[in-house]
Amino acid sequence: MRAVVIGAGLGGLLAACALAERGFEVQVHERLPYPGGRFTNLEFKGYQLSTGALHMIPHGRKGPLGEMLRELGAEVEILPSEPQAVFRVGGRDYEADEVHAVLSAREKLLAVKLLAMMKLGRAEAGEESYAEWLAKHMRSETVRRIADAFTGWCLSLRAHQVPAREVLAQVANLARLGETGVPRGGCRGVVDALVEVLESQGGELVLGSRVLQVSGEPWGYAVHTQEGRLEAEVVVSNAGLRRTARMAEEVLPAEYAAELAGLRSVPGVKISVACSEPVLGHSGVVFTPDASRVCGMNEVSNADPELAPTGKHLLMAHAAPAGGDLRREAELALQDLHRLIPRFRERCRVLAVQTYRGEWPVNHAPSGTHLSPATPAGGLYIVGDGVKPEGWMETEGVAMGVRQMLEHLAAAEKSSEI
């Protein structure tokens, strides 16, 4: 059987490799001259910036992405971060299990209990937001800020913008898997390894080829690119929700297409900084609850020195915007960095300020959306960060979405719908 994958982002490449492994004849069409989408390197002045991601694999070697890479035979070394994460409060860094030290005696007790419940996956929530849920248990402004920094870094949303259930499931997964890592070579290390797997399985990656439309045929689909027409029994779109709705308008029920088109993507701001010396000193996340826009920072060159020129370091900060004017949000984030990093002017130089929104966002759908990768059109699937199952953040969610897609496909094959 033939499969066409639209887009060579992380979801598209994972799906393509898995399909090739299962014996499909796979062609991946990517409109850009490079694969990887928002998960590849952007070399600038000797530093490995990225098109999107902060070069981190949220659950390290043991998470869904690490596991899937291993299953596919993609050779990626994931370097675990030590410590996994710290919280910078009042100019001091606290490990996750110690951050309650900044609270009052009464709050401390509550916070320790609450966190233990969350980590064990025993905390329960209804339909409320994470901020509302927290407020039911504790009235601490500091705790609210810590929660905002956490969701801001992981999801580019503040605690009041995410369902509590989603965050609780994510925290339980984070605690259970207990690791965060940086792929050697950065995001591109992962993408290069996947392209190698794809090609070794006989799959084909066509760069600079934009898919315009997907139309129905009695035996499957015709995929129309700028260059011509392809035929396939299975089509996997990694082009995002709204683009997929438009491209496949002819084969999707109008109601479903409208649902896709109506989902809002999540914006974000990333700042990459060149440092003359290590300013964080480790490769874990530094959450920044004191800052107005920046939610966290990392310094991935401490994990893989090749991500910066010899002796130099690459620091990246992520900000979850509070308003729609991203230029203004970026300016506020820059001001934060000057306050958060001692002797910023002496040691640091801003390499790039990157903003994400619309069809090149941090997330194609807000966390907690849980759209299925199977569309109402049999044989047409969606992968990527618009279709993440509950409890899985960032690229871990992308990998889990691909896994779900493969399950749907296997079920359809079994009942000979395809």
Partner 1 sequence: MRARVTERCVGCGACLPFCPAEAIQVMGRAEIDASRCTGCGMCARYCPNDGVEVER
In 3D space, the residue among 67, 126, 168 whose CA is nearest the CA of residue 395 turns out to be: 67
Residue 307 within binding range of ligand FAD, rule CB under 6 A: no
Residue 53 within binding range of ligand FAD, rule CB under 6 A: yes
User: Which residue in 360, 390, 408, 418 binds partner 1 (CB under 8 A)?
Assistant: 360
User: Which residue in 140, 180, 355, 395 binds partner 1 (CB under 8 A)?
Assistant: 355
Looking at residue 235, its amino acid is V
Residue 103 within binding range of ligand FAD, rule CB under 6 A: no
Question: Which of partner 1, ligand FAD, none has residue 325 at its interface (CB below 5 to 8 Å by kind)?
Answer: partner 1
Q: How far is the CB of 265 from partner 1 (least distance, A)?
A: 10
- Calculate the alpha carbon distances from 152 to 91, 158, 167, 197, 287 in Å: 19, 5, 11, 34, 9
User: Which residue in 2, 3, 5, 7 binds ligand FAD (CB under 6 A)?
Assistant: 7
- State the Cα–Cα distance between residues 270 and 53, nearest whole angstrom: 9
Of residues 43 through 62, those in contact with partner 1 by CB under 8 A are: 43-44, 49, 51-52
Residue 227 within binding range of partner 1, rule CB under 8 A: no
User: Which residue in 100, 395, 405, 409 binds ligand FAD (CB under 6 A)?
Assistant: 395
Range in contact with partner 1 (rule: CB under 8 A) among 91-99, 221-229, 356-364, 380-388: 356-364
Judged by CB under 8 A, the number of residues near partner 1 is 26
To which residue do tokens 């826009």 refer? 293
Residue 167 within binding range of ligand FAD, rule CB under 6 A: no
Residue nearest to ligand FAD (CB): 9
Instruction: Report the residue number, 152 or 240, with the smaller CB distance to partner 1.
Output: 240
- Calculate the alpha carbon distances from 32 to 9, 207, 247, 408 in Å: 10, 6, 17, 29
User: Which residue in 24, 356, 381, 392 binds partner 1 (CB under 8 A)?
Assistant: 356
Q: How far is the CB of 198 from ligand FAD (least distance, A)?
A: 14
Contact 31, 6 (CB under 8 A): no
- State the Cα–Cα distance between residues 11 and 87, nearest whole angstrom: 31
In 3D space, the residue among 130, 154, 134 whose CA is nearest the CA of residue 143 turns out to be: 134
Cis peptide before 83 (omega within 30 of 0): yes
- State the Cα–Cα distance between residues 82 and 275, nearest whole angstrom: 20
Binding mask 312-331 for partner 1 (x = CB under 8 A): -------------xxxxxxx
Range in contact with ligand FAD (rule: CB under 6 A) among 7-15, 72-80, 121-129, 343-351: 7-15
Instruction: Report the residue number, 34 or 344, with the smaller CB distance to partner 1.
Output: 34
Instruction: Report the residue number, 169 or 332, with the smaller CB distance to partner 1.
Output: 332
Question: Which of ligand FAD, partner 1, none has residue 395 at its interface (CB below 5 to 8 Å by kind)?
Answer: ligand FAD
Question: Which of partner 1, ligand FAD, none has residue 385 at its interface (CB below 5 to 8 Å by kind)?
Answer: ligand FAD
Q: How far is the CB of 304 from partner 1 (least distance, A)?
A: 19
Question: Which of partner 1, ligand FAD, none has residue 8 at its interface (CB below 5 to 8 Å by kind)?
Answer: ligand FAD
Contacts with ligand FAD, residue ranges (CB under 6 A): 6-12, 29-32, 37-39, 52-54, 56-58, 210-211, 238-240, 243, 268, 270, 318, 356, 362, 384-385, 394-395, 398
Contacts with partner 1, residue ranges (CB under 8 A): 32-34, 37, 42-44, 49, 51-52, 325-331, 352-360
